[in-house]
Amino acid sequence: MNIEKMRSAHKVLSELEFDKKELDRGYANRTLRIDLDSGKMEIRPVTQQMKDLWIGGKGLDLWMMLQEIDKNTKWDSPENTICFSPGPMAGVISFPGSGKTLVTSISPATHSIMDSNVGGFFGPYLKFTGFDGLAIVGKCKKESIIYIDGVNNKVSLEEAPEESIDSHLLAEELTEMYADDEKDKRNISVVSAGRASEHVRMGVLNFSFYDWRRKVARLKQAGRGGIGTVFRNKKLKAIVIRKEGVTPGWSIEESKVASMVVPKDLHQDSCCCKKEQAEEINEIREIISQWNDDPEYVIEMMQDIQDRERCISPEAIEELCSRTGVPKSHLFHIATFYKAFSLEKRGETVIQVCVGTACHVKGAARILDEFERTLDVPKGGTTPDGKYSLEPVACLGACSIAPVVKFGDEILGNVQVKDIEKILKKHGKKGGPEKKTDAENRMGGDNA
Ligand code: FES
């Protein structure tokens, strides 16, 4: 990937500078409209009436759409608009679903207005940059990208002939191109649609987020309605957004609500044995220092702590709060919202049985039952020796090999009930249960 060559081939077609904007109860009170035909960029107001009548990402998208289209607009008409709105709760980590972005356009598949929602960081980053919504009309003459620079407060439309079309490559290239360093890659999100979208009417839009653990730009999809097809029809290669910091949208209200739901008696249920506490606190402090006590990286710190300690203990919450300044209520919200975190100590190996739709129809419930019976632990529980935790989870993202089990870090596909003993035996060699399983007892001895 020759980033310098790609960058030097860019030709700026138009630019717009904008002011920083504080959020007021979840709204920046403005949207951004970009006409790809003329390169004209406009900032438009969001009025109180719009907020009252067209609430949420879906509402604002529709309002923006209806300013642009009429009954004759087809999916491939230049005036067909692609709208992106994250909604007034965007990026408020205390509440579920606040990372979602609604994308709306006239669908090539149904020829009606269609919306699709997607996770990842793009919507919150748009909000933090000071826009409630983004509307894109017209078509580029040559392959182009839009760059929304929330650090220097500038939007530009640029011809970009050299970058890949395929999303998995393009997201990597543009993340590399626009980030200052490895840490800054987390501040970049890229929207794109791959080459296939040029040939089908159901092309998806890919939204990237940088996974600092795997060191790759990963993708989430707005899959409904073929909006990726509209995107490529506009000769748009990508929209790149780069944010600076986190703009609180609801700080006072959020804190009020959050403080009402902090568990009060958690300390009594501490999962940590007293004599291990000093050591654990030192490890937690070390992790927080690695992230420079920066509150922006509190989720990353919690991921590291969960990995190392197998739980987010009250001591960890105390340390995180005092070192980063993030309120305990927020920390509890994060720890209880994401399945990756646990307030109670997990087993050395976490067994996740997918019970999502594809796995469910292929017998996931029987697999879960069999694990419960064989390990003698209820779902959601941990074996008394602390070796295994058993968790039902929703889609693990490998539906084509359903039913799926994640055993520690290993993904196992096409799992059948009769495989479970073998799986436990294979992994049991590395610290599995020493007592015989129910299944082994039933069989009257060790299996060879
Ligand atoms: S539903 Fe189980 S992996 Fe998708």
Give 392 Cα–ligand 1 centroid separation in angstroms. Answer: 11
**Sign of dihedral through CA atoms 375, 381, 383, 389?**
positive
Phi, psi (rounded to 5 degrees) for 157: -110, 120
Mean pLDDT along residues 297-307: 91
Specify the range with the lowest mean pLDDT, choosing from 35-49, 131-145, 211-225, 434-448: 434-448
Give yes or no for a contact between 415 and 355, defined as CB atoms under 8 angstroms apart.
no
The verdict on the CB of residue 359 being under 6 Å from ligand 1 is yes
Question: Does residue 356 have a pLDDT over 80?
Answer: yes
Question: Does residue 262 have a pLDDT over 60?
Answer: no
Whole-angstrom Cα distance, residue 75 to residue 85? 19
Evaluate whether the domain defined by 3-242 bears CATH number 1.10.3720.10.
Answer: no
Q: What is the pLDDT of residues 310-342, one digit of tens each?
A: 999 999 999 999 998 888 888 888 888 887 898
Question: Does residue 434 have a pLDDT over 50?
Answer: no
Give yes or no for a contact between 388 and 375, defined as CB atoms under 8 angstroms apart.
yes
User: What distance lies between CA 74 and its chain's CA centroid?
Assistant: 32
Domain residue limits, the chain? 3-242, 277-337, 349-440
Give 280 Cα–ligand 1 centroid separation in angstroms. Answer: 35
The CATH class of 349-440 is: alpha beta
Can you tell me which atom of ligand 1 is nearest the CA of 360? 1
Can you tell me which atom of ligand 1 is nearest the CA of 358? 1
The reported pTM is 0.72
Tokens of 439: 């299944």
Q: Which of 359, 400, 411, 414 is the pocket-test mutation for ligand 1 (most atoms within 8 Å of CB)?
A: 359
